[in-house]
C-alpha cells in the first residue's frame, strides 16, 4: 500500500529541525525548496541488534529503517542524486566513536583480525600527526577529522571483522533514516549540538534526545560522510559549528580542499583532515539479500 501526500519535508523532518528539513545544500549556501513525499508501507523482518566486534571489548547498536519514501523536488532545488530511500536496512544508533576507530587505526586488534593465512587484508590509516580529536575528547566522543577514504576503509575492516556488510549510507538512505525517524515537536536544543549550545566542540554521542527510530545526533555534533548518487562523497546533517537554522535532515555539503589545507605532508594525507575537525560518520548495515546492490541501485 502506498500512502502519498503532497507534503513538504517539514512533515517528516528530523527531531526539532523540521523547519530546515525541506532544505538541501549542494554547496555551503545553496538551498532547496519544498518536496512532495511518497511514503511506502514498512518492510517487515528487521529487528534492532547489538554488534560485538571480535578481538575487542567494543559493541554498538544498530537500528532498523524499514519505511521507504521518495522526495521529488522542484528542478531548481538542484538535487544531485534521486532522493529515493530504499529500505530496509540498519543504521547505527550513534555516530562512530573513537573507541572503535582507534582500534582500527592503531591495529589493536591485529592479533585477532588476521585471516587464516595470517594476513590482515585491510590497509590501516597512517598514524595521526596531530590530535585529531582537537582535544574535545575520545572516550564516547564522535570520530572527527577523518577523510571519506578513512571512513570507507573502516567499513571494509569492520565487515571483515564481523562477517556483515557495513558501509557508509548513501545520501538518500541518510535522509530517509533522519526524516522517517524524526519529530517536529521537540526543541532543537533537546536533540542536537549546534553553534548555540555546543561551546564550539563535539560532545559524547547519545547525550541528546533520540528520534522516533532511536537514533541520536542525526544532525549537529559531527557532520556525517555519505555517498552521493554519483558515487562522490558528501557530508550530511551539519555539525556543532552550524547554527540551529543550518542543521537538518537534508543539510548537504560537498567536501572542500580547505578541510585539509594545513596538512604539512606532501602529498597530503588521504586518511585525515587537518582542518576538518567537524567531519565524522555513521555506518549502515545491509541485509544479506541486498549485499550485491550498488550505491546507485540503493538510491
- With a CB cutoff of 8 Å and minimum separation 6, the contacts of 169 are 91, 177, 224, 226, 227, 282, 283, 284
Which grid coordinates belong to 165? 556488510
**Count of domains forming the chain:** 1
What is the C-alpha end-to-end distance of the chain, expressed in Å?
20
Q: Which of 182, 187, 169 is nearest to 210 (CA)?
A: 182
Could you list the residue range(s) of the whole structural domain that residue 130 is in? 2-298
Q: What is the pLDDT of residue 116?
A: 46
Length of the chain: 299
Q: How far apart are CA 23 and CA 97, in angstroms?
A: 28
Q: What is the pLDDT of residue 182?
A: 64
Instruction: Confirm whether pTM is higher than 0.75.
Output: yes
Q: 1 near 8, Cβ under 8 Å? A: no
Q: 46 near 64, Cβ under 8 Å? A: yes
Q: What is the pLDDT of residue 87?
A: 76
Q: How far apart are CA 73 and CA 204, in angstroms?
A: 35
Q: What is the pLDDT of residue 291?
A: 53
Q: How far apart are CA 230 and CA 86, in angstroms?
A: 16
Domain with residue 263: its CATH number is 3.90.1580.10
**Secondary-structure percent of the chain, ordered helix, strand, coil, rounded to 5:** 20, 20, 60
Q: What is the pLDDT of residue 76?
A: 39
Q: What is the pLDDT of residue 175?
A: 86
Q: 176 near 21, Cβ under 8 Å? A: no
Q: Averaged in consecutive runs of 10 residues, what is the pLDDT profile of the chain (299 residues)?
A: 30 40 34 40 76 96 82 41 68 98 90 49 83 95 98 97 96 86 71 96 96 92 93 95 90 95 90 97 87 52
Q: What is the dihedral of CA 226, 146, 208, 71, to 10 degrees?
A: -10
- With a CB cutoff of 8 Å and minimum separation 6, the contacts of 22 are 8, 9, 10, 13, 32, 33, 34, 35, 250
Q: What is the pLDDT of residue 126?
A: 85
β-pairing, 69-73 vs 59-65, is unpaired
Amino acid at each position: 500500500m502506498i500512502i502519498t501526500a503532497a507534503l513538504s519535508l517539514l512533515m517528516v523532518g528530523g527531531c526539532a529541525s523540521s523547519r530546515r528539513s525541506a532544505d538541501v545544500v549542494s554547496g555551503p549556501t545553496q538551498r532547496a525548496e519544498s518536496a512532495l513525499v511518497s511514503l511506502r508501507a514498512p518492510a517487515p523482518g528487521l529487528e534492532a541488534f547489538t554488534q560485538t566486534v571480535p578481538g575487542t571489548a567494543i559493541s554498538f547498536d544498530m537500528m532498523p529503517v524499514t519505511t521507504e519514501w521518495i522526495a521529488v523536488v522542484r528542478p531548481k532545488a538542484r538535487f544531485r542524486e534521486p532522493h529515493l530511500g530504499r529500505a530496509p536496512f540498519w543504521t547505527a544508533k550513534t555516530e562512530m566513536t573513537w573507541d572503535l576507530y582507534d582500534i582500527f587505526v592503531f591495529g589493536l586488534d591485529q592479533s585477532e583480525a588476521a585471516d587464516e593465512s595470517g594476513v590482515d587484508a585491510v590497509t590501516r590509516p597512517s598514524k595521526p600527526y596531530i590530535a585529531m580529536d582537537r582535544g574535545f575528547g575520545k572516550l564516547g566522543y564522535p570520530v572527527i577529522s577523518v577523510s571519506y577514504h578513512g571512513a570507507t576503509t573502516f567499513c571494509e575492516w569492520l565487515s571483515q571483522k564481523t562477517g556483515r556488510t557495513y558501509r557508509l549510507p548513501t545520501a538518500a538512505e541518510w535522509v530517509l533514516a533522519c526524516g522517517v525517524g524524526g519529530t517536529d515537536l521537540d526543541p532543537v536544543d533537546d536533540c542536537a549540538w549546534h553553534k548555540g549550545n555546543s561551546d564550539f566542540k563535539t560532545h559524547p554521542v547519545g547525550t541528546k534526545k533520540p528520534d522516533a527510530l532511536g537514533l541520536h545526533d542525526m544532525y549537529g555534533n559531527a557532520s556525517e560522510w555519505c555517498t552521493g548518487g554519483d558515487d562522490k562523497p558528501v557530508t550530511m546533517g551539519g555539525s556543532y559549528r552550524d547554527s540551529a537554522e543550518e542543521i537538518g535532515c537534508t543539510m548537504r555539503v560537498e567536501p572542500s580542499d580547505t578541510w585539509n589545507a594545513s596538512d604539512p605532508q606532501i602529498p597530503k594525507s588521504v586518511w585525515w583532515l587537518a582542518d576538518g575537525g567537524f567531519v565524522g560518520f555513521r555506518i549502515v548495515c545491509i541485509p544479506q539479500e541486498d549485499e550485491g546492490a550498488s550505491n546507485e541501485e540503493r538510491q
